[in-house]
Structure 1
Amino acid sequence: MADSTTPLLSRSNSEAEPETPRLAKQVPSLDDTIERCIGSFGWAQLLQAVLVSLAWVFDAQQTFISVFTDAEPTWHCSRPDDPSCNSSANLCLLPKDAWAWDKPSRTSVLSEWNLACAGPVIAGLPASSFFVGCLAGGLVLATLADSSLGRKNMLVLSCLMMSVTSTLTAFSPNIWVYAALRFVSGFGRATIGTCALVLSTEIVGKRWRGEVGVIGFLLFTFGFLSLPIMAYINRESSWRTLYLWTSVPAIFYCIIIHFAVRESPRWLLVKGRKDEAIETLRTITTRNQSSFRLSVSFSGISIVPETFDGNLYSAIKALVEKKWAFRRLMAVMTVGFGIGMVYYGMPLGVGNLAFNLYLSVTFNALSELPSSLLTFFLIGKLNRRSSLLVFTIISGICSIMCVVVGESRQVLQVAVELVSFFSACTAFSVLLIYTLELFPTCVRNSALSMVRQALVFGGVFSPVLVAAGRKDGFLSYGVFGLVIGCCGLFVVCLPETRGGTLCDTMDEQEYKEIIASNGGDDV
């Protein structure tokens, strides 16, 4: 291996070596060069990674806020001596003056706008609109972070769109405006997680890539945990207050990251903006290097030009046209669909377990914390492929066990539900990091966006299955288990990536595929 002080990809005239393919000599080594310039991990990189990853807090809050704002409040008979009221479990069959809400009607969307008897389609419209908006936003915005805007600008735009719309949601006059604003909020939210994850991991060396990625998952957990706390504090207040509590801080956060966070040097280099990349590296360097020395470090890099054009969806086109990329994308999206159905479905379905709503959501949120910690400390040692297979199978088995155990043993039922959700959360985290490593820099954000689309698409079906599961538990937890278990099997089609070097272009990645298929070592 060449000494680190020698120019990148240089060769001594006295060295005699076998002739190698021309492409191999053109392969850039940004991992080694970036680590040589700024170190594998330092305080400046940690600060930027934490600032960027804070977006996950607001992402989690807007994703699960409808659990409280759109919940059906408890009610009581206003005439305790009325036997018809006391014997009825359906308030829609009673006269309006025969019952009353336990809390003020303003505490929930359903009680304020009298939607409790409007049917499941109308009552579930805002939540469904949010997830449909996530799908639409992912399709429209998926490649902007790779093509024109970059990671940082796309993160600011997405987070600002979500937070401003959520603020306006607090002033909705009716269910239709409310659902429309939730759609726009979901549209903006679609790329927050992908941009934050990619941007935070592209400024560190490969040794700390997985750990830095898990920071976002930990902060997502804290965002999830903050919801029941805020909801409990405002339990007698309007549901509009909860939207203001979660959206206004997000607006100030967008302003902070606009001025305090730098763009990904990898993306800048791939786009040919070498001077900006060097300036970015200089600001976060952990070593005493001048701009001149950084320029020398990168002067030997020759990025292989991409064969696809630079239009908005060129990254998606490249992923589809390359057989190895398409095969990987379809496999990880299938796995993501199964994980998403359980990940988004479990918190929505805890109401079917007849537990206190605040405690149920808190327990599920708390189960994300050990999942994130487990991923944080073990991601460097976990094989991506085998760990995904194990966690999806465990989640599937435990989800089906929720039906087998039944409501007669509620403690055991809740326990296996939490194990299932814990396993799905861990699989979720590993899948996103795995996706980062499967695709090169030029299409990495787009590929990750497509995987998150598959996760959200699985979540679209979850509310329908949860509603059906109120009468037959197998239609919710049973289906959850079968889907995640079967989809998880597709991970066997993917290569192992732990400890590998990130590629930056499609040609470089394809060359590695050729070497691997011929039984050679990675370049």
Structure 2
Amino acid sequence: MQAPAQKNSDDPTAALLQTEPAARTIGGEEGMNVDEMLTRFAGEFGPWQLRQFLLTSLAWILCAFQVMAVVFADRESARPVPCPVGIRLGRAWWLARSTVEEWGLTCGEKYKVGLAQSAFFVGSMAGAAFFGHVSDSFLGRKGVLTLTCFLLTVFSLLTAFSPSFFIYSFLRFLSGLSTGGVGLSAFVLATEPVGPSFRAAAAMSTFHFFSIGSISLSFTSLLLPSWRLLYVATSLPSLLFLLLALPFISESPRWHLVHRNLPAAMQIIRAVAKTNGYSIPDRAILVHDADPTRPVRTASIVDVMRSHVTRPRLILGFLINFLISVSYYGLTLNVANLGPEIHASAILNAVAEMPAYALTAVALRWHGRRPMAVTSMWLCGFFCFAAGAFVKAARMGCAAVAIFAVAATYNLMYVCTAELFPTEVRNAALGCVTLAGQMGAVAAPVVVAVGGKWGYGVFGGCAVVAGGLGLRLPETRKQPLYETMAGLEGGEKGKGEAG
């Protein structure tokens, strides 16, 4: 844990803090923003933030269960399946290994397998957009996480009782809708209370839990080969998270501050300081970074598009996330198809991504977000092109390096997006770029199915173009995390005048 320190010429965070509006004296009290309060008095990453980080990041395991369930539930059967009726199971309908077996999704019905997968990602798109806005407005981050975890429990359990393929696809859509809200809320709750020196590393580290979830689901599928029992199993962790983890998760103090609930925000900050072993002097108070006379109004994605500062950021983030998602999901599906054993392939794929998250989390403390993102995108593109040119072992090796690079980029864009937008629209902006990512996820299986070895060229081209667009993104390292649109625009204007 880094000890808070008073601001002085030797403090390495002084440059960061000076980019925010200077601390203001109000009636003998010293007003400051959340980042400055954490750095000087409460601790940037201590026991309180560690507990919040671990508890909220567990939600990514739930997301992994839902995203990866289709890999096992909709897998091709190892035994002949009559089409279009499927294997007649009678009273043993709970024992079907996959939807393909039970509903005869072979021959001319094979396209339906992709339809169910697309339905889930379409739901994720809608959920990211809707719940992103709701969590920035009246319901809050914790409220959305609570609601979506409950819905995820219900829809995942109902999926296990699907009487037909179309009901199954509809319930997968609803599960995707819930998953889109779970991931966004958990990410923001885990990172917003962390100080600026550790925020990027904490953000990248959340994605280890997604890999853990993928590995856990692979072993669960080995124990429960029935696709219906597998969906029952995926509903239980959401229920346990609701009962055992959520009561100990705190709402973001930044969200309370944006909604002018200063007592609640200060109560959380004082709890952070107490748990971390520090105390906040009575003279120190949190202040809003906007004009206090401005009426309280909920900002939305419309405000993001109206602003000359945030509009290009959102458009670039949308395009980059779409392109990177095509590469990420396309490479993931291709690697799974290379292995003869689906469980081993899924486990190895998840394990291969974890070093990328770890190395990126460490490197972010010393290197900028933009050069790291651009470099990893172009590295992915180069090895995708190489994979298309080689065969067998050489192709597998190049594809593995490409996945390593694109995994780092895919999750680094979450960090960049969170830092590019202020608190009052952060989840809405994350929801918008996540929607773009889900669009890429829907497109990737089509490229895999029809592209063959030329698919690597498509994935490489997407990564290279995304890297070029990434050069246009502003650098966010050592920049303040603003609370409002007005604060961000004022800060950017100040930098322009200083320049």
Q: Same-fold call, TM > 0.5? A: yes
Runs (5+) with no aligned partner, structure 1: 14-25, 77-90, 98-103
2:229 equivalent in structure 1: 241
1:298 equivalent in structure 2: 285
1:193 equivalent in structure 2: 183
Pairwise CA distance, 1:473:
2.1
Is residue 480 of structure 2 the alignment partner of residue 492 of structure 1?
A: no
1:282 equivalent in structure 2: 270
Is residue 222 of structure 2 the alignment partner of residue 232 of structure 1?
A: yes
2:322 equivalent in structure 1: 337
Give % identity: 32
1:161 equivalent in structure 2: 151
Runs (5+) with no aligned partner, structure 2: 1-5, 12-21, 88-93
Distance 1:309 1:458, change over 3 A: farther
2:333 equivalent in structure 1: 348
Which secondary structure state, in structure 2, belongs to the residue aligned with residue 518 of structure 1? helix
Distance 1:113 1:105, change over 3 A: farther
Q: Which AA in structure 2 matches 1:340? A: S
Which secondary structure state, in structure 2, belongs to the residue aligned with residue 298 of structure 1? strand
1:216 to 196, 201, 206: 206
Pairwise CA distance, 1:295:
5.9
Contact 1:156–1:257 (8 Å) recurs in 2? no
C-alpha separation between the residues in 1 aligned to 2:187 and 2:175?
20
Q: Which AA in structure 2 matches 1:174? A: S
Is residue 46 of structure 2 the alignment partner of residue 58 of structure 1?
A: no
- Using the size of structure 2 for normalisation, the TM-score is 0.88
Is residue 252 of structure 2 the alignment partner of residue 264 of structure 1?
A: yes
Is residue 440 of structure 2 the alignment partner of residue 458 of structure 1?
A: yes
2:362 to 377, 388, 408: 377
Distance 1:450 1:96, change over 3 A: closer
1:512 to 484, 491, 496: 491
C-alpha separation between the residues in 2 aligned to 1:512 and 1:261?
31
Distance 1:204 1:496, change over 3 A: same
C-alpha separation between the residues in 2 aligned to 1:120 and 1:323?
47
C-alpha separation between the residues in 2 aligned to 1:394 and 1:273?
46
| 1:54-203 superposed matches below 5 A | 54-75=58-79, 106-203=96-193
Contact 1:105–1:112 (8 Å) recurs in 2? no
C-alpha separation between the residues in 1 aligned to 2:288 and 2:167?
53
Distance 1:12 1:171, change over 3 A: closer
Pairwise CA distance, 1:138:
2.1
C-alpha separation between the residues in 2 aligned to 1:189 and 1:278?
31
C-alpha separation between the residues in 1 aligned to 2:324 and 2:31?
35
Contact 2:259–2:296 (8 Å) recurs in 1? no
1:84 equivalent in structure 2: none
Alignment RMSD:
2.8
C-alpha separation between the residues in 1 aligned to 2:373 and 2:293?
32
Deviation track 1:429-450 (CA, whole Å, cap 9, x = no partner) reads: 2111111111111111111111
Pairwise CA distance, 1:157:
1.4
Contact 1:37–1:281 (8 Å) recurs in 2? no
Pairwise CA distance, 1:353:
2.6
Distance 1:366 1:377, change over 3 A: same
Contact 1:37–1:287 (8 Å) recurs in 2? no
Pairwise CA distance, 1:30:
2.2
Q: Return the index of the structure with the highest Cα Rg.
A: 1
Q: Which AA in structure 2 matches 1:464? A: V
Which secondary structure state, in structure 1, belongs to the residue aligned with residue 24 of structure 2? coil
2:19 equivalent in structure 1: none
Contact 2:200–2:415 (8 Å) recurs in 1? yes
C-alpha separation between the residues in 2 aligned to 1:341 and 1:58?
23
| 1:438-457 superposed matches below 5 A | 438-457=420-439
Q: Which AA in structure 2 matches 1:425? A: A
C-alpha separation between the residues in 2 aligned to 1:181 and 1:12?
57
Distance 1:145 1:420, change over 3 A: same
1:33 equivalent in structure 2: 37
The total of aligned residue pairs comes to 474
